[in-house]
Amino acid sequence: MAVVAVQCPECESQEVVRYGRQANGEQRYRCNTVDCGRRIFLGRYHNTRRLPAVKRQIVDMALNGSGIRATARVLGVSPTMVMTTRKKKRRRSIR
């Protein structure tokens, strides 16, 4: 039996527990760190556009003055996803 160390993609904590499965059978995990902004995540993503690294790039490009449509073109995601990600990050930073 192999043991795989799983880290939270947001806070990089190893205080992670298994938290059920997706409808497609993928394992879900939950971060037990109190201050973590991302509580539930997948161990392996099929849709790479939903990766935390892509969402960080969206925020970084917004901070550098890149527009919504330009960000969507460069990263290969929809403009709606860019707007949604920017809104969510803005709400979290206000709290």
> DSSP string spanning the chain?
--------TTT--S-EEEEEE-TTSPEEEEE--TT-S--EEESS-SSGGGSHHHHHHHHHHHHTT--HHHHHHHHT--HHHHHHHHHHHHHHHH-
> Per-residue pLDDT for the chain (95 aa), expressed as one digit of tens each?
667 788 887 788 888 888 888 888 888 889 888 887 778 888 777 766 777 788 889 989 988 999 999 999 998 888 998 998 888 877 666 55
Range of the domain at 72: 47-95
Domain shared by 54 and 88, yes or no: yes
Domain shared by 2 and 20, yes or no: yes
Domain shared by 70 and 59, yes or no: yes
| pLDDT for residue 86 | 86
Domain shared by 58 and 40, yes or no: no
Number of domains the chain contains? 2
Domain shared by 37 and 53, yes or no: no
- Long-range contacts, stretch 62-68, CB < 8 angstroms, 24+ apart: 62/86
What pTM was estimated for this model as a whole? Answer: 0.53
d(CA 63, CA 72): 15
Domain shared by 94 and 66, yes or no: yes
Domain shared by 56 and 79, yes or no: yes
Tokens 């073109």 label which residue?
A: 73
